[in-house]
Amino acid sequence: MTRAMTITEKILAAHAGLDSVEPGQLVNCKLDIVLANDVTAPISIKEFAKIGVEKVWDPSRIALVPDHYTPNKDIKSAEQAKMVRDFAREQDISHYYEIGCMGVEHALLPERGVVVAGDVIIGADSHTCTYGALGAFATGVGSTDAAAGMATGEAWFKVPASIKFNVTGELGPWVSGKDIILHIIGMIGVDGALYQSMEFTGDTIERLGMDDRFTICNMAIEAGGKNGIIAVDDTARAYLTGRAEREWVEYASDADAEYAAVYDIDAADIVPTVAWPHLPSNTRPVAESREVVVDQVVIGSCTNGRIEDLRIAAKVLKGRTVHPGVRLIVIPATQAIYRQAMNEGLFDIFLDANAAVSTPTCGPCLGGHMGVLAAGERALATTNRNFVGRMGDPKSEVYLGSPAVAAATAVAGHIALPDDLT
């Protein structure tokens, strides 16, 4: 009999052609999807050329998404985007997404059914771990690993030990997936899961919709995690049905699988949370952050730019206007989310509130464009990182929070809960 395994170990074993694997073992895995974006793909393309193969291993299994500095921010960005476009054409890459069809990669690929349960996915973007919400093993790598993956369809991994986060009970009002993951990162630190897999279980997680699950797995990297993962259930099946472009495989952890640590978390202990500068682990309750006055609020990104995020923001903003001292920028993460938000009337709510609504882009999250901060400015963002200089000048500050907190903060002018608003 093979050893009891976690979901992550099972997926890696299956892709390495092995009956079982154990933490620490080095394995070579077949890849299902290799991803890169307009910042990371140019280096991948240069490295790919050095490998000496003419064609990518499978043009239908490579995804190239120009989303970071697009629509092109400046001439250098335009050159990088063009390099990716030219490579996609030359290699007949089927999953290349041009402006007008694109979206923020980690919202786009699940939405289009490109990544599915049971996959092994590498992406030259650290938030590739998002797809774990679909029961896949997905992890961020650098451009050279992605180039090797494009050439060979394989990558090596050290099988990670797993940490289980078992969340049970009812969440309080305005507590979302973002608050769950910020709570966890605050608890274990930015290297609390270094080199390890973060597996999320429990009835609280089971009751969450896919958008909250994507948010949770998206930020596994902010705890140093190799991947975040949630086993497939009816919610995930319903999401995959009709959009998965390949058959998916469901894996689940054995009841007696070994974990490096197990955290039992009572959902009632999780409150609306913000991460203060300059680490995602520097968390405090919103209730203890109300003195923080902000200049800008950003609602969007691969963490929180999905339709449910926009609905929550709209619910808070409906009939209200943004504080005169605040700039609110709302960025639907994909074209489909953009259209859906428009059709549901959310744009009217945002525009009536004096928010700017942008075409999909990673833009301000990484201080790229579409909302860069000046020295001394402060933002509350639904994004994933608040490092020094992340959103602009090294003397600016970023606070991380949920869409509900972001919308309330935009109206109040300082960090706030929706219930604070009159």
List contacts with another protein (CB under 8 A).
26, 39-40, 42-43, 46-47, 50-53, 68-69, 73-74, 76-77, 80, 123-126, 128, 140-145, 147-148, 151-152, 156, 190-191, 194-195, 221, 224, 226, 279, 366-368, 372, 385, 387-390, 392, 394
**Least separation in angstroms between CB 385 and another protein:** 6
Give the nearer residue to another protein in terms of CB position, either 169 or 189: 189
Question: Taking the C-alpha atoms of 231, 63, 102 and 86 in order, what is their torsion angle to the nearest 10 degrees?
Answer: 170
Give the nearer residue to another protein in terms of CB position, either 1 or 375: 375
**Least separation in angstroms between CB 301 and another protein:** 13
* Cβ pair 174, 417 in contact under 8 A: yes
Give the nearer residue to another protein in terms of CB position, either 128 or 283: 128
**Least separation in angstroms between CB 323 and another protein:** 28
**Least separation in angstroms between CB 67 and another protein:** 13
Give the nearer residue to another protein in terms of CB position, either 177 or 368: 368
Give the nearer residue to another protein in terms of CB position, either 50 or 291: 50
**Least separation in angstroms between CB 127 and another protein:** 8
* Cβ pair 233, 204 in contact under 8 A: no
Give the nearer residue to another protein in terms of CB position, either 5 or 147: 147
Long-range CB pairs of 206-210 (<8 Å, 24+ gap) are 206/233, 206/235, 208/177, 208/235, 209/235, 209/308, 210/110, 210/133, 210/235, 210/236, 210/239
Neighbour order of strands in the sheet with 261-266: 227-229, 197-201, 162-168, 261-266
**Least separation in angstroms between CB 140 and another protein:** 4
**Least separation in angstroms between CB 164 and another protein:** 19
Give the nearer residue to another protein in terms of CB position, either 211 or 222: 222
Compute the distance between CA of residue 184 and CA of residue 225 in angstroms, rounded to an integer. Answer: 12
Give the nearer residue to another protein in terms of CB position, either 135 or 392: 392
Compute the distance between CA of residue 399 and CA of residue 255 in angstroms, rounded to an integer. Answer: 38
Tokens describing residue 356: 């700017």
Compute the distance between CA of residue 281 and CA of residue 189 in angstroms, rounded to an integer. Answer: 5
Helix (H, G, I), strand (E, B) or coil at 231: coil
Give the nearer residue to another protein in terms of CB position, either 56 or 353: 56
Amino acid at 411: V
Tokens describing residue 352: 């009536």
Cite the beta strand spans of 222-294 per DSSP E: 227-229, 261-266, 273-275, 283-285
Compute the distance between CA of residue 52 and CA of residue 259 in angstroms, rounded to an integer. Answer: 41
**Least separation in angstroms between CB 110 and another protein:** 19
Distance of CA 121 to the CA centre of its chain: 14
**Least separation in angstroms between CB 236 and another protein:** 25
**Least separation in angstroms between CB 358 and another protein:** 17
Give the nearer residue to another protein in terms of CB position, either 67 or 211: 67
Compute the distance between CA of residue 227 and CA of residue 205 in angstroms, rounded to an integer. Answer: 17
Helix (H, G, I), strand (E, B) or coil at 172: coil
Compute the distance between CA of residue 399 and CA of residue 415 in angstroms, rounded to an integer. Answer: 9
